Structure 1
Amino acid sequence: MSGYSLLEGMRILEVAQLAPSSVGGHLADLGAEVIKIESGPLGDPVRVGGSRAIGDEDGPSFMHLRWNRGKKSVALDLRTDEGKRTFLELARTCDAVVEGMRGGYLDWLGVGYDRLRQVNPRIVFCTVSGMGSDGPYSQLGTGGPVFDAYAGLREVRTPEEPPIDGIAGGTTPPMAMYALGAYGAMGLLAAVHRAGRTGEGCRLEVAGIDVAAAWMPDLIDAELNKNRSIPRPTWLPDGRLPDWPRLEAYRTKDGEAMLFGSHVEKFWRNFCLAVDRPDLLEIDLVSTDAEASARADHVYRELREIFLQRTRDEWLALFLEHEIAGGPVNSVSDMIADPHFASRSNTYRVEYEGVGELEFVASPIRVSGEEFAPALPPKFGADTDEVLAGLSCHDGSGDPSGRSAAARG
């Protein structure tokens, strides 16, 4: 069902919608059995989120196809007594529960961590939300872009200002929303590891706003210690290095661009010699005196003209030949066509009934000797009968018979 075999034998119970579903998604990619509890007429709303659909206008979204691939779907109404009893029986057989709703949702239903640990003392309970379970904003409805805005990572543009990349409102891809799943999976795996050693589970929490706040240490940590740190004398007052032109993107002859990454002196020397401009090596790009900005501006203008003399592919060939740091500035379509992307087995293919073969990006984790080939996400409730029938195979002790000992640490 899932991608790799690294977490084979681990069982996860997930009650999550939208971005928090990515926690279980990462775990399923690594081989865990992830049982997704869904309710309502449609299940997880992410199934039909996004601007493009597969098959027909009500078809699945690409976020659903990524975050819910390789899971099992069980239709269960947790608002009913029967649904709660079934949920607790499932929890007896699992290593962890992921709560990916508004903080405190399962507590409100009476099947939160305190109740879960009564039926399974080893259970790890990972709650994933936007604002977290405490604080004055804990009940504030949020979404992915809100996390970045909260942490000062998002620009604000008025309607009078031109939109960014043609998108009204300056909308940019939210960073914390996509990082949320990786942090949740990392914390959960660490907790399951400890539970295997000690026999005791724990409750842990990951909030989107906290992920955003912790994302860039040179922003928040520097601000927290503003009065206990000093400016580094090797940097310019505006926060740039005096050799910033060596770490810039430049337009190429064919209208594309290259990212010049030759901050290290060796790479800078190799470049200047390769383009027959040894004179640039004589320019001081280290000192931070009053003329430093003017020298950097001069080098920047020179490099702009130099990069316009070759196409992006020609520059890439020259960088490789002369050991110069940098790389192509790609659009998404450029990257997909890039020979380096293709050579690294970055995608896999799967047959989708009624549509044909689809191609998706693989996990960025590579496991030697294994091929990443997860199943498509299940249809809503597709695994209900199979999973619930399996409950009769358990002895009620918290371990299903035949479970791998490795799964318990």
Structure 2
Amino acid sequence: MSGYSLLEGVRIVEVAQLAPSSVGGHLADLGADVIKIETPGRGEGVRHAGARAVGGPDGPGFMHLRWNRGKRSVELDLRTEEGAATFLQLAATADAVVEGTRHGYLDRLGLGWERLRAQRPSTVLCEVSGTGADGPYRDLATGGMWFDAYAGLRTVDTRQPSPPGVMGGSGETPQAMYAVGAYGAMAVLAAVLRARSTGDGTRVQVSSADVAIAWMPDRIDAALNADRTHARPGWTPDGRLPDWPLLDAYATADGGAIVFGSHTPKFWQAFCGAVGRPDLLEVDLTSVDEGSEDRARHVWRELDALFRTRTRAEWTELFLAHDIAGGPVNTVAELLEDPHFTARATTYEQDGHRFAASPVRVVGQEFAPGRAPDLGAHTEEVLSELR
């Protein structure tokens, strides 16, 4: 069922909706047996999320195919006495339970930490929520785009309605919504490792709001210590390096773009030598003084004109040939044709479709996960294992 075999022998019982399903998704990709508990007849909401349906107008969405691949689906109504008893039986066989709903869902059903720990002292419970277990926003109904906005990572434009293809006032891709799965999986693995060595269970909590806060230390940590920090010599008052043109994006001859990242002397010297512009090396881009901005803008204009003389592919070839830092800018459509993308095992095929593979590579193994299960596809199989 699972993508790799690294977690063979690890069992996870998952009660999750939407993005928190990615916690079990990461674990299934690595080889864990993830048993997904779903409400009978309805299943979890991510199954049909997204503007594009696969296989037909009512087909599954891509998030379901990604986050639930390699899992086993069991229909179980936890609100019934029979369903709750069966869930506890399953949990007793598992290394960890992942709860990915509004905080306290399993507790309200009498199936939370105290009950799980009483029947299996070594159990691990990972509670994944939007806003965490405490604080005034604990019960706030939230969505994926909000977590970044809460933490100052998402800028919104309220001057006009969101343009076509954009929702929530910004076209920026949500970060915390997708990152929470990796943090949750990391927490589960650490707790399971400890439980296997000590026999002690652990209750861990991960929230998307906290992930957004922790995502960029140079923002949150800097703001927390604003009165305890000092301006670092060699940086401009607006927080840039004086050689910022060497860390910028430039248009290319074919209408594309290239990111130039050659601000260290080694790369800058290699670039100027490769393009026959030793004169640019004579411009002082290290001093911060009254003339530093004018010098930087002069270099930027020269580089802007220079990068427009070759295509994106030609610049990439030159960067590779002369050990120059930088690389091509792609749209998603362009990425699919990028030679680096096509040369690596970045995708796998399944049922006539291609999907992005796990970013983890296991040398000697091929990533080949089972398809995301139909609702309740493994109910009889899994429950028969309890008999």
Partner in structure 1 of residue 47 of structure 2? 47
Report if the CA contact (8 A) 2:254-2:311 is conserved: yes
Report if the CA contact (8 A) 1:164-1:171 is conserved: no
Q: CA deviation at 1:263?
A: 1.4
User: Cα gap change, 1:40/1:390 in structure 2, threshold over 3 Å: closer, same or farther?
Assistant: closer
Q: CA deviation at 1:94?
A: 0.2
Please show how residues 250-329 of structure 1 align to structure 2 within 5 Å.
Answer: 250-329=250-329
Q: Comparing 31-40 with 333-342, which one deviates more in the overlay?
A: 333-342
Which segments of 5 or more consecutive residues in structure 2 lack a partner in the other structure?
none
Please show how residues 187-226 of structure 1 align to structure 2 within 5 Å.
Answer: 187-226=187-226
**For residue 270 of structure 2, what is the amino acid of its counterpart?**
N
The SS at the match of 2:14 is strand
The SS at the match of 1:88 is helix
Report if the CA contact (8 A) 1:164-1:170 is conserved: no
Number of matched residues?
387
Q: Comparing 22-31 with 264-273, which one deviates more in the overlay?
A: 264-273
CA distance in 1, matches of 2:314, 2:198: 58
The SS at the match of 1:13 is strand
**For residue 274 of structure 1, what is the amino acid of its counterpart?**
A
Does 1:342 pair with 2:342? yes
Report if the CA contact (8 A) 1:191-1:202 is conserved: yes
**For residue 359 of structure 1, what is the amino acid of its counterpart?**
R
Q: CA deviation at 1:164?
A: 9.2
**For residue 109 of structure 1, what is the amino acid of its counterpart?**
L
Report if the CA contact (8 A) 1:8-1:33 is conserved: yes
User: Cα gap change, 1:61/1:119 in structure 2, threshold over 3 Å: closer, same or farther?
Assistant: same
Q: CA deviation at 1:335?
A: 1.1
CA distance in 2, matches of 1:320, 1:339: 13
Which segments of 5 or more consecutive residues in structure 1 lack a partner in the other structure?
352-356, 393-409
Q: CA deviation at 1:172?
A: 1.9
Q: CA deviation at 1:387?
A: 0.4
Partner in structure 2 of residue 30 of structure 1? 30
What do residues 364-387 of structure 1 show as CA deviations (whole Å, max 9, x unaligned)? 000010000001111000100010
Q: CA deviation at 1:176?
A: 0.4
CA distance in 2, matches of 1:299, 1:171: 31
User: Cα gap change, 1:309/1:66 in structure 2, threshold over 3 Å: closer, same or farther?
Assistant: same
CA distance in 2, matches of 1:165, 1:16: 28
Please show how residues 361-380 of structure 1 align to structure 2 within 5 Å.
Answer: 361-380=356-375
Partner in structure 2 of residue 85 of structure 1? 85
State the TM-score, normalized to the length of structure 2: 0.98
User: Cα gap change, 1:245/1:163 in structure 2, threshold over 3 Å: closer, same or farther?
Assistant: farther
Report if the CA contact (8 A) 1:73-1:380 is conserved: yes
The SS at the match of 2:355 is strand
What do residues 295-342 of structure 1 show as CA deviations (whole Å, max 9, x unaligned)? 111111110000001111111111111111100001111111111111
Report if the CA contact (8 A) 2:18-2:44 is conserved: yes
The SS at the match of 1:12 is strand
CA distance in 2, matches of 1:35, 1:162: 39
Partner in structure 2 of residue 400 of structure 1? none
CA distance in 1, matches of 2:166, 2:184: 33
CA distance in 2, matches of 1:122, 1:257: 53
The SS at the match of 1:22 is helix
Partner in structure 2 of residue 110 of structure 1? 110
Does 1:63 pair with 2:63? yes
Indicate the RMSD between aligned Cα atoms, in angstroms. Answer: 1.3
CA distance in 2, matches of 1:26, 1:230: 40
Report if the CA contact (8 A) 2:98-2:127 is conserved: yes
CA distance in 2, matches of 1:328, 1:92: 51
Partner in structure 1 of residue 236 of structure 2? 236
**For residue 375 of structure 2, what is the amino acid of its counterpart?**
F
Partner in structure 1 of residue 178 of structure 2? 178
**For residue 252 of structure 1, what is the amino acid of its counterpart?**
T
State the TM-score, normalized to the length of structure 1: 0.93
User: Cα gap change, 1:325/1:164 in structure 2, threshold over 3 Å: closer, same or farther?
Assistant: farther
Q: Comparing 38-47 with 380-389, which one deviates more in the overlay?
A: 38-47
User: Cα gap change, 1:341/1:263 in structure 2, threshold over 3 Å: closer, same or farther?
Assistant: same
Does 1:359 pair with 2:354? yes
Q: CA deviation at 1:169?
A: 2.3
Please show how residues 121-160 of structure 1 align to structure 2 within 5 Å.
Answer: 121-160=121-160
Moved over 4 A (4+): 161-168
User: Cα gap change, 1:63/1:124 in structure 2, threshold over 3 Å: closer, same or farther?
Assistant: same
Partner in structure 2 of residue 388 of structure 1? 383
**For residue 198 of structure 2, what is the amino acid of its counterpart?**
T
Q: CA deviation at 1:170?
A: 2.0
CA distance in 1, matches of 2:299, 2:275: 14
User: Cα gap change, 1:308/1:165 in structure 2, threshold over 3 Å: closer, same or farther?
Assistant: farther
Report if the CA contact (8 A) 2:64-2:372 is conserved: yes
Report if the CA contact (8 A) 2:145-2:168 is conserved: no
Q: CA deviation at 1:31?
A: 0.0
**For residue 368 of structure 1, what is the amino acid of its counterpart?**
V
Report if the CA contact (8 A) 2:40-2:376 is conserved: no
Report if the CA contact (8 A) 2:10-2:94 is conserved: yes
